[in-house]
Structure 1
Amino acid sequence: MSDIKIYPIRFTGQVRTIECDVELQKNQPDEFKRYIRFACQNRATTQVTCQCRSGSEGESQRRLKACSSSKNDNYWLARWSNSGSEHAPDCRFYSIWADDRQSQIYASEVVKTISPGCFRIKLPTGLQKKEASGVKAPARQPALTVDGKRQRQPAMSILGLMHFMWEKAEINHWHPNFDKRTRDDAWAAWRLKQIAGKISVGKTSLDSVLLTLAKPGSQAMKNNWAVVNGAEKSAKRLVLISCLDSSVREEQRNLKGSLPLILSAGFPYLVLPSDSIDRLERSFSRELSDWRRGKKVMLIAETDPPVKKFKQLNGKTIPYNTCTVIDAALMTVSDRFIPLDSSWEGVIEEKLWQEKRQFIKPLRYDGEADVFPDFLLQDVPGSDVVPLEVFGMTTPDYLARKAEKLKHYQEEYGEGKWWSWDAHKSDALSNIPAFPAKG
């Protein structure tokens, strides 16, 4: 991996903008510290941004925090929460994880940086047929250890892989400017395919075995065909990402041996064993209910290597590929492909979009659902991020976790620096609190 680099830093105030290049940062530390001190003393009117990806999409997201210590008159810069993955891979402010708490979910060998922006991920089942790690896919709620702490997972589940791809592709980000471009299935497939080229599982590039959303007759369909043929010859497992088809007939909504997918041109015929159906029904009952109610639900699945078979059609022998699903996961998303963990989150995501807010949907991977905020606002003056929390239940355990979370927000962010909505109340929909004012 290449050395970590120092990139120019831009200070934007009310009167003027100053850009401190690498030479100034290294050779004139007192001058650089003076700019940081000014930003610290004028947080409400001064914005500090890293120029590691200057001119690229999302430049405004790479904001930095001006920090200080009263003990020794020291000043320094730090990345804002949930921004580490937005920096260039060789930037000193870069992090694999958007949130440092995500790094506590897995053992150290599960996700490795093999070169700037490229990663090796350990799945429970390798993509080469002969590869098998021998560990079972992690459950949605990791087991407790004897000391009461959550175990670090020995591998990333297929759901975790989907979250990783979504986050690295920044599909879980929204900015009002995104309305100026088309964010449809083809866009999502393109973003996912780009990220897959930077991920390997064992020695296998994810891009070489990934099937993505494709319409009949499209280039994406031909790309899927090529991936299937290559996997069949090399005995490699496939990873596919698509949408459940919400327009299927009632009898097809019971997942009897197959997956009703939409935009799956170029996919092989998929066999869904009964144990895979049981796992989906058990672990993703909410997502299946969303799908049956017409919501957009993404599916990621890993299959055994495709097998070529033949069938007779109009007197001709026609070859086709089939494969068996060995693991699958579901994720409900909005029309903008923002992941949603409840119908109440869908209400808030829609409201954020209508009000033209800039926000992130944190992804939990294989961690605990109640650790991360539901959304993070990024456009509130004077705050790096403002957590948004939707409380939808009133059970004793849930209320206990709610009290802990509110205490955490109060201690970490301070009074008025976070937002919540009690969605369980009878008049909740007509009494959604106003979001913190944007800049």
Structure 2
Amino acid sequence: MTGTIIILPGGERFQFEWRRTDPERWERRLKAKYDESRSADRSDKARCLCQHRGAALPLQIRYRADSHSYHLAVWPNEGPLHEKTCPFYKPDPEKSGRASYVNGVIREGEDGDVAVTLSIGLRRKGPPRPVDDTPLPASDRPGQARQRRMTPLGLLHLLWERAGLTEWRPQFARHRTPTVALTRIASAGTRIRAQGRLISDLLCPVAPGHEKFGRRLHAIVRTEGKENHLFLIGFVEALEPDPRGNFTMALNGQRDGYLSIGTQK
């Protein structure tokens, strides 16, 4: 969020906006404070200006080995304690669709990425998944269903949540367009894994008149469509297969014909 102040260990003030406007400075300062933050007491760690019961809410400086980069992350289970206008706010899982899952269906790693257990296999080919008849564990939330696997609809809900689209914020005014929302969802897919794959590798956002999304769709269908199920998200009006194993797609609001996409049966 523009204007969000971060206090780094030692008292240095840090602009959250630098993550976008000055990424080199953002990376340099987090790297410099990484070791100090890890060894600091809770009250001396990095923090935003949010407070809970009069105490500051610390943040973690984390290192992502796969991208060799540093980032800030909310402390475990403290996302709901931040102000809703804070970029580190997270909705209370007990008040969202997450409450219906047993422990382990959604697993958040130390780097902030999430792994999920899906109800479908990502591979299009291979032996069918055996039915799991294991009895459900007793629920600690009377009256609420408990699920051992996440459905594709549940994955959509998770993407929506991780994209920050479940809460309205003032900065969304006039900027929460379909293209912006789908771009945020595509980015959220880079932090969610299932069956060893990044969801972003199989996620195809589509919007009328958006050439980048169109190129992405063609590329993912070409590289992944033979072997894996794909997740198509956007404003789709119709899908029409043909005998050759291709399909044509019409988008809501599209008036210049169908977009032809190759796929396999």
TM-score (norm 2): 0.56
Structure 1, residues 244-289: CA drift from partner, whole Å, max 9, x if none?
54xx9xxxxxxxxx99642798674xxxxxxxxxxxxxxxxxxxxx
Matched, 1:63 2:53: no
In 1, are the aligned partners of 2:207 and 2:251 still within 8 Å (CA)? no
Q: 2:168 aligns with which of 167, 170, 174?
A: 174
In 2, are the aligned partners of 1:119 and 1:198 still within 8 Å (CA)? yes
SS at match of 1:226: helix
What is the Cα deviation at residue 188 of structure 1?
1.5
What is the Cα deviation at residue 89 of structure 1?
3.0
What is the Cα deviation at residue 94 of structure 1?
4.5
SS at match of 1:223: helix
In 2, are the aligned partners of 1:128 and 1:237 still within 8 Å (CA)? yes
Q: 2:106 aligns with which of 100, 103, 111?
A: 111
Q: Aligned in 2, Cα 1:28/1:260: closer, same or farther, shift over 3 Å? A: closer
In 2, are the aligned partners of 1:105 and 1:152 still within 8 Å (CA)? yes
What is the Cα deviation at residue 160 of structure 1?
1.5
SS at match of 1:89: strand
Structure 1, residues 181-218: CA drift from partner, whole Å, max 9, x if none?
53222111211111111111111211111110233571
Matched, 1:321 2:263: yes
In 2, are the aligned partners of 1:124 and 1:134 still within 8 Å (CA)? no
Q: 1:221 aligns with which of 206, 209, 214?
A: 214
What's 2:119 paired with? 124
What is the Cα deviation at residue 66 of structure 1?
1.6
Separation of aligned partners in 2, 1:28 and 1:185: 40
Which amino acid letter does the alignment assign opposite residue 107 of structure 1? V
What's 1:183 paired with? 176
In 2, are the aligned partners of 1:50 and 1:64 still within 8 Å (CA)? no
Q: Residues 4-403 of structure 1 correspond to what in structure 2 (within 5 A)?
A: 50-51=47-48, 63-66=50-53, 76=55, 88-89=72-73, 91=75, 93-94=78-79, 98-101=91-94, 102=96, 103-129=98-124, 130=126, 133-134=129-130, 149-179=143-173, 182-216=175-209, 218-233=211-226, 235-245=227-237, 261-262=251-252, 268=261, 320-321=262-263
In 2, are the aligned partners of 1:212 and 1:224 still within 8 Å (CA)? yes
Q: Aligned in 2, Cα 1:227/1:244: closer, same or farther, shift over 3 Å? A: closer
Q: Aligned in 2, Cα 1:155/1:28: closer, same or farther, shift over 3 Å? A: closer
What is the Cα deviation at residue 221 of structure 1?
0.4
What is the Cα deviation at residue 7 of structure 1?
5.8
SS at match of 2:235: strand
Q: Aligned in 2, Cα 1:260/1:266: closer, same or farther, shift over 3 Å? A: closer
SS at match of 1:126: coil
Q: Aligned in 2, Cα 1:321/1:117: closer, same or farther, shift over 3 Å? A: same
Separation of aligned partners in 2, 1:88 and 1:135: 40
In 2, are the aligned partners of 1:224 and 1:266 still within 8 Å (CA)? no
In 2, are the aligned partners of 1:225 and 1:267 still within 8 Å (CA)? no
SS at match of 1:117: coil
In 1, are the aligned partners of 2:79 and 2:91 still within 8 Å (CA)? no
Q: Aligned in 2, Cα 1:161/1:114: closer, same or farther, shift over 3 Å? A: same
In 1, are the aligned partners of 2:249 and 2:259 still within 8 Å (CA)? no
Separation of aligned partners in 2, 1:238 and 1:177: 32
What is the Cα deviation at residue 171 of structure 1?
1.3
What is the Cα deviation at residue 169 of structure 1?
0.8
What's 2:65 paired with? none
What is the Cα deviation at residue 116 of structure 1?
1.3
In 1, are the aligned partners of 2:236 and 2:249 still within 8 Å (CA)? yes
Q: Please, which moves more after superposition, 96-105 or 122-131?
A: 96-105
Separation of aligned partners in 1, 2:102 and 2:186: 26
Pairs aligned (count): 193
